[in-house]
Structure 1
Amino acid sequence: MSYSRVRRRLPVVTFIALIFLLSLFTLMYKLYSPILVSNANMKSTARLKDSFTAATLLSSNCTRMPVWTKGEYKFFDDRYSNISTIWSSKHKEMTPEALQWWLRIQQSKDTFSTSDLRNLVGKLLEIIPDVMPYATNVSNRCLQCAVVGNSGNLRDSRYGQLIDSHDYIMRMNTAKTVGFEKDVGSRTTHHFMYPESFVEVIGETKFVLIPFKPLDVSWLISALTTGTIVRTYMPVRKQINVSKKMIEVYNPAFMYYVHKTWNELHGRYPSTGMLVLLFAMHICDQVNVFGFGATSKGNWDHYYQPPVEPSLEKDSAFKLTGVHNAEFETDIVKQLEEIGKITVYRGSRV
């Protein structure tokens, strides 16, 4: 081939080579940039306090490995097990150890046996759906969940739109949204309560009962039927107006797993916040946490109540009673945040 012909073809070859390199660079960028961005922003994201839009969250879809992914951190791998979060006929058994612990946490009768447990669950599942509605460890899915506590650090946080952009929004106890939408959002998909903290749920919100004792399950059965139970250790609702198909019961065996494996037996039993956080980590792919955090004296204040002057605040009742170990739970949450399993939004208190 003559020199002149080579010279004429050189621009064409150069152009083809440039197209190939540009395509290769684009492919590599798509594969690796989400991982790099996620790792670089993981710690700074947790400390953001400013107002957010829904696009802020949705733009980060699937940029983190699913929360249930194992093989990265020993701290997580040693603790995480695929245990059913919800009671069903397939997941109703409890070990003798777990059953005895469950009976002790609120001083239930020691005469309650495994046979009694099966009968109780059987009666329950004649009334509410006997299903396990959550698929776990699903590849190619990005189910985003917001766990929303009731801490006073949500005041003036402007997290409402961000919280509402999640697939599942989990609230607990006497959480309120009306009048606080700018800070806490308006949507709720799951509301976790026990008999003594029950408030009405509306629309397509699931009521998830956390049973701290067998009587709590009996109360639910009664509240949906005869209305004969009106008191536990305090007066409770005689009947509730909740669609039966929208009711789930937290698995006490899962509760014991949280207490033993994650809380390492600290406190008498886990706080509601800890129970809901671990619930989310076992059914969701990405978990963001809002409204967790005590005051400087360790009290769990509420965004929907007037703040207490620091000079008038008393020491935390939980430190005195030992029911929950808030300091240990806070440390667990911090470690989960540091290894990128969750993101914590701290609101008005950093």
Structure 2
Amino acid sequence: MENAILLIEDSYFRWKQRSFLQTCSFLRFKLWNHASDPRNVLTFFPPYLFASLICSIMCFQFLDFRCGRCAVVSSSGQMLGGARGQEIDGQDCVIRMNAAPSVGYEADVGNRTSLRVVSHTSVPHLVRQQGYFFGREAETRYVIWGPEKNMREDGKGKIFNALVTLAKKYPQSHIYTVTREKVQYCDSVFQNETGKNRMKSGAFLSTGFFTMILALEVCDSVLVYGMIDGSYCSNANHSFVPYHYYEPSRLDECRMYRTHEHAKRGGHRFITEKLIYSRWASPGKLRFVYPPWSQQEHQQD
């Protein structure tokens, strides 16, 4: 059986994009390597490698998604008042996160959604508002990530079971899950960039981290909206901004970031992740356009 698996993997490399119907467990790929560029700009392998690690809920079909210029829209309150909606909708594809709505906020965040990256913790929001997400946004591709205990396919994965129910109810929906191999790969990216083991350090990767990796692999270029740089919250004159643009009276973004950054267990390392993005940024591939990140931030080691 092991030899058969090796043969299948070897054949996949030769076939490249010819087959999108292999079994997820057979596929284990390294998706990118660091280039020799001193700024650590990433070198990307062809997009079919990413597609091999995100599987459709109902038919084990791999995500077949490629786009030219993508707008990645943060859920941050930084989006409020920016009037970037028309600019965002003018890009080839629009990628959003979790259950962030566009209705009522079109002027600032746009109206289109090509792809949505969703944490397992936000799936209940999709279920509660399923008419919106699988009706109004019926053509959107949903990429769901989460820990194996919630995503297991043996009937014991609570989130996976909820997604199967949605896929059956909305047969025209496009629902995908991130495989265990891909989650482990994202863990390895975090460790390579920080020198810290994610699990041992008590950190949880954010939806933004998965979104950035996805966008950089499937888009020719990426424009990021609403994401602050890693030094923003340390500036003495930074302003109060809500954590989510659609919850304006709730948590302060910087307070949330600092709390998570120093949490001993279960914290997202939002500030650390943004320092990682600054090393990936390059004018041709990845730009933080609103609010703009300084060139000095881009050049940091």
Into which bin does the TM-score normalised by the smaller protein fall?
A: 0.5 to 0.7
Are residue 167 (structure 1) and residue 92 (structure 2) matched? yes
Change (3 A) 1:192 1:222: same
TM score, norm. by length of structure 1 = 0.55
Residue matched to 2:27: none
The amino acid of 2:271's aligned partner reads E
- The Cα RMSD (Å) is 3.8
Identify which of 278, 283, 293 aligns with 1:334: 278
TM score, norm. by length of structure 2 = 0.63
Q: Distance in 1 between matches of 2:224 and 2:42?
A: 22
Identify which of 193, 206, 209 aligns with 1:271: 206
Q: Which structure 2 segments of 5+ residues have no match? A: 1-31, 295-301
Change (3 A) 1:314 1:246: closer
Query: Is the Cα contact below 8 Å between 1:259 and 1:269 reproduced in 2?
Result: no
Residue matched to 1:183: 108
Q: Distance in 1 between matches of 2:99 and 2:210?
A: 16
Q: Distance in 2 between matches of 1:335 and 1:314?
A: 23
Query: Is the Cα contact below 8 Å between 1:147 and 1:290 reproduced in 2?
Result: yes
Cα offset, 1:269, TM superposition: 3.5
User: Secondary structure of the residue that 1:304 maps to in structure 2?
Assistant: coil
Q: Distance in 2 between matches of 1:281 and 1:239?
A: 27
Figure out how many residues of one structure are paired with residues of the other and give that number.
231
Residue matched to 1:31: none
Q: Distance in 2 between matches of 1:257 and 1:332?
A: 16
Identify which of 262, 287, 303 aligns with 2:245: 303
Cα offset, 1:333, TM superposition: 1.7
Q: Distance in 1 between matches of 2:246 and 2:293?
A: 16
Identify which of 236, 246, 250 aligns with 2:178: 250
* Cα deviations by residue, 1:169-204 (Å, 9 ceiling, x for unpaired): 111112111110000001111111133212232221
Structure (1 or 2) with the larger CA radius of gyration: 1
Q: Distance in 2 between matches of 1:153 and 1:190?
A: 21
Cα offset, 1:307, TM superposition: 4.7
* Cα deviations by residue, 1:232-256 (Å, 9 ceiling, x for unpaired): xxxxxx9985446511112332333
Change (3 A) 1:239 1:247: closer
Residue matched to 1:10: none
Cα offset, 1:81, TM superposition: 5.4
* Cα deviations by residue, 1:107-128 (Å, 9 ceiling, x for unpaired): xxxxxxxxxxxxxx8xx76x24
Cα offset, 1:308, TM superposition: 5.9
Cα offset, 1:224, TM superposition: 5.0
Are residue 144 (structure 1) and residue 69 (structure 2) matched? yes
Are residue 219 (structure 1) and residue 219 (structure 2) matched? no
The amino acid of 2:177's aligned partner reads V
Residue matched to 2:142: 207
The amino acid of 1:73's aligned partner reads D
**Paired residues for 1:124-143 under 5 Å:** 127-134=58-65, 143=68
Change (3 A) 1:260 1:82: farther
% of aligned pairs identical? 23
Write 1 or 2 for the structure with the bigger share of strand: 2
Query: Is the Cα contact below 8 Å between 1:152 and 1:307 reproduced in 2?
Result: no
**Paired residues for 1:103-114 under 5 Å:** none
Change (3 A) 1:174 1:224: closer
Q: Distance in 2 between matches of 1:330 and 1:281?
A: 15
Residue matched to 1:260: 188
Cα offset, 1:347, TM superposition: 3.6
Change (3 A) 1:203 1:79: same
Query: Is the Cα contact below 8 Å between 2:261 and 2:271 reproduced in 1?
Result: no
User: Secondary structure of the residue that 1:204 maps to in structure 2?
Assistant: coil
**Paired residues for 1:289-300 under 5 Å:** 289-293=224-228, 296=233
Cα offset, 1:258, TM superposition: 2.6
* Cα deviations by residue, 1:139-186 (Å, 9 ceiling, x for unpaired): xxx711111111111110111011111222111112111110000001
Q: Distance in 2 between matches of 1:216 and 1:324?
A: 20
Query: Is the Cα contact below 8 Å between 2:243 and 2:251 reproduced in 1?
Result: no
Residue matched to 1:324: 268
The amino acid of 2:221's aligned partner reads Q
Query: Is the Cα contact below 8 Å between 1:173 and 1:197 reproduced in 2?
Result: yes
Query: Is the Cα contact below 8 Å between 1:146 and 1:168 reproduced in 2?
Result: yes
Higher relative contact order (CA 8 A, sep 6+): 1
Q: Distance in 2 between matches of 1:240 and 1:300?
A: 36
